[in-house]
Structure 1
């Protein structure tokens, strides 16, 4: 049987993402770095709420210039680029999907950010970094693919300096009933490990974190989907559909329906190591 990590990586792998991204950008690929990065936000912020959600999360972390941040499940590096450019931090990202990491590092080079951001391919359950080397960690829409939340947070806790923070922004279970697939993170239930906020808080506590706060971002999510639906015409070439393949419309419809019904919600949790 194929290892779970390989199945998850395959779920996200497109195979021609770099070429497709450049084709969608066209002449806009030559835009100045700031303008290009703004344009890329439509595709490299692969989570409900997009860039606005990332900005809100970063503000709650109150990052300081020069800090080292670990981005778990970094994807194409959208969150890493926002943190680096807006807050002056150095970001190390890790993701299971090699294609995402390769394309993300290519984008960092194009934007002149290679010296400030490093994306590597690997598992959040076996982090290949020096212990106590990060001031903060971020994790956006990642835990839905990880069954053992305690093991995940133990790994992250070992990477953080005393007082280090973690900001989590995951889709969590907020109501009863069976989930309808496919969803952006899983084609079926075999790759989906959605948990309730209480499960996250308990896992964080077992790993040595002190939970500081929790925010339900359901209203932000509903507004995000309503805005997407209000746009006239077909889905844009440069958008989240690029990362979700032929089932993109179905995946987005399913997650929107289940968030609006109260089964799921994007939840932000902040915690720190004493």
Structure 2
């Protein structure tokens, strides 16, 4: 499978993605893993015994959080023992949820080294290292053997990928015959006005590659995937984002004693509150929509 790394400008593109997703490292002068460990200690957590609730604020960085992941897993009828590839795994939250709650064996892949380092540590700390492992790699060139996974899982990642047909071809290579794709993705809405930026996946148009629902579904069909169930869940996603924007804009209570575990600002920096508001506004204006769907490989 040819890699995007052969394309001119690919290294610059990777640098842009890493600069976006690990932006706080440059401003804070300390690696993401070290910052998170300091924050967990400050919140009174044992770094060797973290719970999934402890880490929820930094490991489910998509609309809907854990509830959206559970809904997608249910829609896709995930079964215990299935081999899952989590594409664009970030800090590994969905991988751990699928291992802990659905009994899957999960490999997570992400192009951002800091996320892979954190994902591996969090799986050890939460006792899920035996059911999850993580690779730093390009989604179009994953170092796994042909037919080695039963399910490809992807939440909010394709909108960062400029060459989706290559990624989908790689999914076909990796999937066992009749394997499934479980996708929770942002797509372009009917309102074609420019996005309010920054948003959680991009600070500029350079790393945002939203496609319309029709374009995404056509790409899936051309790659040999048959739709089993595809739902537009924009209204639910907007309601969730509105509630979280209210919480994030709320001033801290005076006299508050407990220090909360780290959240998205520990990763994205202080820009995250603005990113969340812009995402809310883009959803409300019809510039962005959210799909949840299941496809099956037609390859026998």
The TM-score range, normalised by the shorter chain, is over 0.9
Q: Distance in 1 between matches of 2:196 and 2:148?
A: 40
2:227 matched to 1:211? Answer: yes
Q: CA separation in 2, counterparts of 1:51 and 1:20?
A: 23
Q: CA deviation at 1:237?
A: 6.0
- Who is 2:245 aligned against? 229
Alignment check: 8 A CA contact 1:89 1:116 kept: yes
| Pair 1:99-2:114 in alignment | yes
TM-score when scaled to structure 1?
0.94
2:17 to 8, 15, 20: 8
Q: Give SS of 2:290's match.
A: strand
Instruction: Describe the SS at the equivalent of 2:122.
Output: helix
1:225-268 deviation per Cα after TM superposition (whole angstroms, max 9, x unaligned): 23223434349662222222231122111111010111102211
Matches of 1:229 and 1:219 in 2, distance apart?
15
- Dislocated runs of 4+, deviation >4 Å: 234-237
The SS at the match of 1:30 is coil
Counterpart among 244, 247, 257 of residue 271 in structure 2: 247
Figure out how many residues of one structure are paired with residues of the other and give that number.
Answer: 273
SS in 2 for 1:212: strand
Measured against aligned partners, the alpha-carbon deviations of 1:166-188 in whole angstroms (never above 9, x if no partner) come to 01111111122111211111110
Structure having the higher Rg: 2
The Cα of 1:49 is off from its aligned counterpart by 0.9
Q: How big is each residue's C-alpha offset from its partner over 1:11-63, in whole Å with a ceiling of 9 and x where there is no partner?
A: 21243222222232225422895x72112112210101111111101111111
- Structure 1: unaligned runs, 5 residues or longer: none
1: CA distance between counterparts of 2:45 and 2:176?
38
With over 3 angstroms needed to count, the CA separation of the structure-2 counterparts of 1:219 and 1:32, relative to structure 1, is farther
CA distance in 2, matches of 1:39, 1:223: 24
1:150–1:257 CA distance, 2 compared to 1 (3 A):
same
**TM-score when normalising by structure 2:** 0.86
Equivalences for residues 143-182 of structure 1 within 5 A:
143-175=158-190, 176-182=192-198
* Aligned counterpart in structure 2 of residue 186 of structure 1, from 202, 216, 220: 202
**Does structure 1 retain, via aligned residues, the 8 Å contact 2:245–2:273?**
no
Note the aligned Cα RMSD (angstroms): 1.9
Q: Structure 1 residues 191 and 32, CA, compared in 2 at 3 Å: closer, same or farther? A: closer
